[in-house]
Structure formats: C-alpha cells, structure tokens
Amino acid sequence: MNRSGSIKIFWSLSLFFLGFSILLGEPKSLQKKIKQIPSDQLRYKDEVSEIIVNHFQVKLYLFPDRKSDVLRVLKFGERVVYDKSTLELPNDKWIPIRTVTDGLIGHVVREAVLSVAKNRYLTQLIFETDKLLKLNSLSLVERMEITDSLFAVSTAGEYTGDDFTLSRTKAGFGLKRTLDLINEKKIKSDSSPDLLEFLKRHQSKLLYDYSDGIYYVDPNYFWKLIETNPNTKHSDYAGYLAAEVVPMPNCNRELSCELETLRKSKMRYVYQFPTGNYVSVYIKSIIKSLKEITKDPDAIACFQPLPQSIRSEINTMEKYVQEYSARHRKEILPYIRILKEECLK
C-alpha cells in the first residue's frame, strides 16, 4: 500500500471513532465530576453559619420543590436563620430556613442565599449591598429593600462601636441612593403605596425642598451619629456623606447663602476631620469657592446694615479655619480676612 492510501485509511478510522465517541457521550475520563458535599457536613456548615438573602424576589417554598406552595417572597437582606428542626436531609440545591420577623418555616434555593461565618455577617452584607447600590440600573423598589434591610440591621441592637457606626452610615448611604433615583426620575411620593410608606418610615431623616421638589438626607443624621460615636473607624466616612448630602441651592450670588452652603458642607468636614481622607479634595474646592466670592472685594454683597446671618457665617468660618492644619490655615485665612474687612467694618 502506498503512502497516500495509508493516510486515507488513518483519517477514515479517526473519523469513525470520533463519531462513535460522540454517539456514546463524553468519555468518563473526560467528564467533569461534580463534588457532592455529604449531608452531615452540609448540615454542620449551615448550623454554624449566618444566612444572607442576597437576591431579590426570593421565594420561600413549603417544601424543597419549586412546585410546592410559596409561603411568601423574601426581601433582599431579610433576616433568616437555618431551621434546625427540619427533617429533610440538607443538599446542595435547597436550604431549610426560618424567617425572623414572622417565624415562617420553609425552603429556599441555596443559590439565592449566602452562608457566612457569624462574625462576618455585617461586613459581608455591606459588601453585597455596596456592589448593588453602585449600579444605576438598580430599580427604586430594590433600592428601598436594601435601605430598609440596612436600617433594620443597624437598629437591631447587635452592634456597637465601629460596627454600629458602619451599619448606620451605610444605611444612610442606601437612603441617599434611593432619594437620588426619586429626584432624578421626578417620582411623586404618592406614586405608589410602598413609596409613600417608605418615605413615612424615614421622614425623621429627610429634608424636602418644596421649591424644587427634591428630597435630601438630613446631614444632621450623620453629624449626630458622629457626635454620639466619636473616634470610631468609620466616622470619617460618615462625615464625608454629611458633607455630600447638604442641599446645594441656587444662591444667585446671595452672600449669606453661599457662605452657609460652603460652611455647612466641606468646611465643616475639614474642621471635624483635619486629617481625614477627603481633606485634600475639599480644601481645593473651598479655596476655589472663596476665591470666586472674594475676587472683587468691592463687589462683595455685604450691604449695611449687615444681616446677622452673614456676620455669623464669617465668624464661624474663621473659627473653623483656626482649627485647620498650619498649611491649610495659611491658604484660606487670606480670603476670610477679605470678607471681614469688607463686611465686618
């Protein structure tokens, strides 16, 4: 047999065996083996773990079967615990749980929850919510669910110190992100019963601008948190959010309005956290604003008799700046002096 004939026979046999293997399925030696966790190990892991509902519209089934009755739908972050009384053997598809709020016992798909060590519950929950809250595609209902979940955790009385500050600050951030969407889409408060109820639940933490129809998180929510829990690791982040949620009105060159807005936001943050993470950014913004206000001293709108509000703002600003670092005092005090010379004659 010549070389050409041998090659033809080789390829014919190769194609035959290839087709035969396709008909029989993937050879056992190449099949991916799915490692099954023994039921006793799975039960132990579930019993010593905290469970986080980290999906939306999670159905609580009566039995571990999608065809069984749905007891109700769980909300994102809702507190649930492993049901130790279950007679069902644990498996890698379902997990028996009991809801904390109403004591319902049922089963959820394991992929819809996250099991974590008990000492990592808060950090993992916040990690999950952070990922979602950064998404602009998150719906209003989903933002409200996350916000309510964070407030529920922060007020449960389980956390103190750094953890308490972190949980309350993140809850405030969730509220801010919810209000951002309401303002952006110009959603009316009475557009749905759920939204109206949500706003009522959190009304003590809200400000509303009737002229522009805009909701804000009250900055005092964060400042009070800092005052009652000083020197915690996450106070700086709370201070940053306090500065960021201050309403930015259209002052139309009204001096009192401009000074108050600047003093209540960035200047207060630097005063409270002179070595904070956001100081360098805020100092640049403060200098830019003051430079604009004082660029023409003769045009500064501080007419006599000088309103008490302007006098108070300038004096408070000077008090704040005196507490800044030496370098920042040197950068900002010249602008304060211009205001004093022109207005506090």
Contacts of 269 (CB under 8 A, 6+ apart): 239, 240, 242, 243, 276, 278, 279, 282
For residue 187, what pLDDT band results from cuts at 50, 70 and 90?
very high
CB 175 within 8 Å of CB 144: no
Cα(105)–Cα(80) distance, integer angstroms? 10
156 three-state secondary structure? coil
Least confident range from 64-73, 122-131, 247-256, 312-321: namely 247-256
Ranked by mean pLDDT, which of 91-100, 138-147, 203-212, 247-256 comes out on top? 138-147
114 three-state secondary structure? strand
Average pLDDT over residues 21-27: 42
Q: Is 105 left (phi over 0), alpha (psi -120 to 50) or beta?
A: beta
71 three-state secondary structure? strand
Q: Is the pLDDT of residue 120 over 70?
A: yes
CB 201 within 8 Å of CB 133: no
| pLDDT per position as a tens digit, 124-159 | 999 999 999 999 999 999 999 999 999 999 998 899
| pLDDT per position as a tens digit, 260-311 | 999 999 999 999 999 999 999 999 999 999 999 999 988 888 888 888 999 9
Fold of 39-118: SH3 type barrels. (2.30.30)
Exposure pattern of 97-132 as b/e (b: 16+ CB <10 Å)?
Answer: bbbeeeebebbbebebbbbbeeeebbebbbebbeeb
Cα(94)–Cα(163) distance, integer angstroms? 31
Query: How much is the pLDDT for 5?
Result: 53
Average pLDDT over residues 166-186: 97
Percent of residues, the chain, with pLDDT higher than 90? 74
Question: How many residues does the structure list for the chain?
Answer: 345
For residue 44, what pLDDT band results from cuts at 50, 70 and 90?
confident
Number of H helices, E strands in the chain: 13, 9
**DSSP code at position 243:** H
Average pLDDT over residues 25-33: 44
Least confident range from 43-47, 49-53, 140-144, 303-307: namely 43-47
Cα(251)–Cα(256) distance, integer angstroms? 9
Query: How much is the pLDDT for 18?
Result: 46
Please state whether beta strands 214-217 and 206-209 pair in parallel, antiparallel, or not at all (unpaired).
antiparallel
Contacts of 310 (CB under 8 A, 6+ apart): 255, 256, 259, 302, 343
CA nearest to 73, candidates 44, 102, 50, 93: 102
Cα(217)–Cα(222) distance, integer angstroms? 9
Query: How much is the pLDDT for 335?
Result: 96
Average pLDDT over residues 27-39: 52
116 three-state secondary structure? strand
Cα(331)–Cα(337) distance, integer angstroms? 12
Higher pLDDT, 37 or 168: 168
Domain map (residue ranges) of the chain: 39-118, 135-246, 248-344
Average pLDDT over residues 185-197: 95
For residue 14, what pLDDT band results from cuts at 50, 70 and 90?
low
Query: How much is the pLDDT for 146?
Result: 97
For residue 203, what pLDDT band results from cuts at 50, 70 and 90?
very high
Q: Is the pLDDT of residue 25 over 50?
A: no
64 three-state secondary structure? coil
User: How buried is 146 (Cβ within 10 angstroms: 0-12 exposed, 13-18 middle, 19+ buried)?
Assistant: buried
Query: How much is the pLDDT for 31?
Result: 45
Q: Is the pLDDT of residue 220 over 80?
A: yes
Mean pLDDT, the chain, integer: 88
